[in-house]
Amino acid sequence: GAAGYAPAPSPGPTMMTSNSFSDRRIIEVLAAPEKTHRRLVRTARRVPEVLLDGGEHAVASSAELYGSLALDMGMQAVPAWKQDSEDWASYYVNGRSDVDFVVDMQSRVKPSVIADRLLSKGTWRLVGQVQVHKFASTQLTLLGHFDDAESDDEAAAAAPHVEEPQQQLKDEATAADGSTAEADERKGAEGEAEDKEAAKEAAAAATREVYLDITCIENPTHFKRFKKRQEAFRQVFSEARSGVEGQFGAQGALAFDAYIHLLKAFAAKVPGNALTGFQATCIGLFTLQIGHFRLKPTHSIALSFFEGFLRFCLTFYGDGPTSWSFNYRQFAIDLSMGGRWLPRMSTNWRSELYFMHAEEQMKTRPDERVNVAHSLDPNRVCLEAYALLQRAFTGEHHPGMLFGAPAAAVPCPVPQQ
C-alpha cells in the first residue's frame, strides 16, 4: 500500500516566501513562453476540425488530445484542480513540447489518408512514421503549421522565443539573408531591403512551426484501451496535485507545477532517450504517492520533491549495496490505488511501470499490458540521478542516502573519466 505524503513541519513565513520565489522562478525558466504555448493550443484546436470536418469526408471517428497539453488550462475543459487565482504559468508544456493526438480510424481508412489531409491544410512535412503492429497503431510525426496559424505580427513577436529545432531553421534563414545581401550589394539598397524582408518572412515561418504527433489506431478495442490508460494517468496526476495542495495550500500547487517541470527537464538531459518526459513524470508522481521526500529548510518544496525523486532513481534503479529492499529487478511500480509495489511481471523488460488497475478493468492479457517503462534504461537513469545529486544536492548538511544506501555508496557503475 501507499505510505502517503511524508509528514512535515509547518514552514515558517520566511521559508514560505523564499520557497515561493524559488518555485515560481523554476516555472519561469522551464515553462514554454506564452507565445509558444498559444501556438501549440491553436494547433491542437485545429486538428479535430481538419480530421472530422463534415464539409469534407471525415477521415477519423474521433481525434483526442493527450500529453502535456491535455493537462492544460488553455484547452476547453479546465481541470477542477486548476484555480483561477494561480498567478504562474498554468501549463506544463516546455520548449520541447509537441502536440499529441490519438485518432480512432474509420474502417478501411489508412494512416496515409490522415497524413495527406493534414499535409493539405498547411505548411506541414512528414518527418517520421512508426508502426506498432501489436497495438494496431501508426505514429505520424509532422513538422510545420496550419495556414491560419497566426498573424505575421504574432509570429515576429514570437521570434525571440524560438526553440530547437526551429532555431536551426531561423539560423539558416539568417545566414541565407546575410549571403544574399552580400551578393546583391551591387544591386542597390532596394534589392537589399527586399532580400532582408524575405529572410524575415522565412524566419517568421520557422517560428510558427510545431511538432505534431498523431497516433492512428485502426482497432477500436486498442483505441479504447489507449484512452483508458490516458484517463488513468490524468486521474493520478490530478490526485497528486490535489494531495500536495491539500497539505501545503497554494504553495503546494505552485511547488507541484514546478516539480513537474523539473522532472521533464531532467528527462531531457538524460542521453539516448533512456528516460522520456512521460516516464519521469510517472516515476515522480509515484515518489509523491509513497512519500519519498524530505522537506528541508534549505530547499523549496519543489526541490525537496525533486531530490526525493533523484534519490529514488539512484536506489531503485541502482545495483549497489543498499538496505532498501525495493529494486527494479524484483519490483514493478504501479501508479494505481494511490501507488503500490507489484512483483515483476515479465522478464522481457529491464524495468516495469503500469497503471495496473486500468489494465485489470480492461481485462487485458499480460502480453497486451502497456509497460510505461518499456524503453527506460535503469543504469543510465541511476547514473544521471547520481551525477545531478553530486552537482546540486551536496554540501555541509548533505544527508547521504536518506532512503537506504550508505552515503558513500554509488549504486550504479560510474564510467572512469
| pLDDT tens-place string over residues 244-296 | 999 999 899 999 999 999 999 999 999 998 999 999 999 999 999 999 999 98
Closest by CA position to 299, among listed 395, 195, 216: 395
**DSSP element (H, E) containing 327:** none
Query: Which pTM does this prediction carry?
Result: 0.79
Is the pLDDT assigned to residue 372 strictly greater than 70?
yes
Contacts of 386 (CB under 8 A, 6+ apart): 314, 410, 411, 412, 414
Helix or strand or coil: residue 227? Answer: helix
DSSP sequence for 63-98? EEEESGGGG-TTSSS--TTS-TT--S------TT--
Tell me which of 25-39, 144-158, 242-256, 377-391 is least confident. 144-158
Residue 186 confidence class, pLDDT cut points 50, 70, 90: very low
**DSSP element (H, E) containing 116:** helix 111-119
Whether 123 contacts 212, CB under 8 Å = no
Q: Supply the pLDDT for residue 138.
A: 96
Whole-angstrom Cα distance, residue 412 to residue 408? 12
Cell numbers found for residue 210:
510545431
10 Å CB burial of residue 278 (0-12, 13-18, 19+) is middle
Q: Supply the pLDDT for residue 329.
A: 94
Closest by CA position to 69, among listed 111, 39, 48, 27: 39
Is the pLDDT assigned to residue 144 strictly greater than 70?
yes
The verdict on whether omega for the bond into residue 378 sits within 30 degrees of 0, i.e. cis, is: no
CA 369 to chain centre: 22
Whole-angstrom Cα distance, residue 60 to residue 73? 26
| pLDDT tens-place string over residues 38-72 | 999 999 999 999 999 766 788 899 999 999 999 97
10 Å CB burial of residue 208 (0-12, 13-18, 19+) is buried
Whole-angstrom Cα distance, residue 126 to residue 64? 20
Measured at the CA of 93, the angle between CA 11 and CA 96, to 5 degrees, comes to 125
| pLDDT tens-place string over residues 192-250 | 545 555 554 454 455 679 999 999 999 999 999 999 999 999 999 999 999 999 999 98
Whole-angstrom Cα distance, residue 48 to residue 64? 8
Residue 393 confidence class, pLDDT cut points 50, 70, 90: confident
| CB neighbourhood size of 127 (10 A) | 13
Q: Supply the pLDDT for residue 413.
A: 55
